[in-house]
A = this chain, B = another copy of it.
Amino acid sequence: MHPLENNSGFFHRHRVRYYETDSMGVVHHSNFLRIFEEARVEWLRARNLLEAHAPHADLTLAVVETSCRHLRPAYLEDDLKIHLQVRLEGATKIYFRYQMYSPRFEKPIATGTTVHVPLNGELKVTRLPEPLRRELEKETWTETWP
């Protein structure tokens, strides 16, 4: 089964836009972090957790660490699929990881991680709201995915 047909776990779709490409004719590497962000926000939306986040609440899941491995290029108009897993560590550290697929390749075109801490509007570390914490504790984090 091609990973694009595997609908288990959470995933997000993203169509590559012209303004995301660069002189090499592929998606600029900085835009992978933006596409990961989209996937993260869509995960929050799917769990009804957007209300716990700015601008609705005094909380932002600030990015404190990112990493990305670029394995194969992403081209204009590619209909990308981003699988996502999330894990809470301790009281306030949230790990997201991502696998990105395109219709052109069987294997992932990129993998990445982002690490987050909850900050309030003064950019100080704050407590995770209970609904968000409960959802995070329910999440599965597996070695074989998607």
Interface residues of A (CB under 8 A from B): 17-19, 21-26, 28-31, 33-34, 37-38, 41, 50, 54-55, 60, 62-71, 73, 75-77, 123
Given the interface contacts A22-B19, A23-B25, does A66 sit within 8 Å of B67 by beta carbon? yes
Measured CB to CB, the closest approach of chain B to A122, in angstroms, equals 11
Nearest B residue to A50, CB-CB: B77
Give Cα A63–Cα B27 distance, bound, in whole angstroms. 11
Given the interface contacts A65-B70, A77-B50, does A30 sit within 8 Å of B19 by beta carbon? yes
15 residue pairs A–B, Cβ–Cβ below 8 Å: A18-B28, A19-B34, A21-B22, A21-B23, A23-B25, A25-B55, A26-B123, A29-B63, A30-B31, A62-B70, A63-B70, A64-B70, A65-B69, A66-B68, A73-B123
Measured CB to CB, the closest approach of chain B to A80, in angstroms, equals 14
Chain B residues with CB below 8 A from A76, complex form: 23, 55
Decide: B66 and A23 in contact? CB cutoff 8 A. no
Give Cα A65–Cα B96 distance, bound, in whole angstroms. 17
**Inter-chain pairs besides A18-B37, A19-B37, A24-B62, 17 sampled, C-beta below 8 Å:** A17-B34, A17-B38, A18-B22, A18-B23, A18-B28, A22-B22, A24-B123, A25-B55, A26-B123, A30-B37, A50-B77, A55-B75, A62-B70, A65-B67, A67-B67, A67-B68, A73-B123
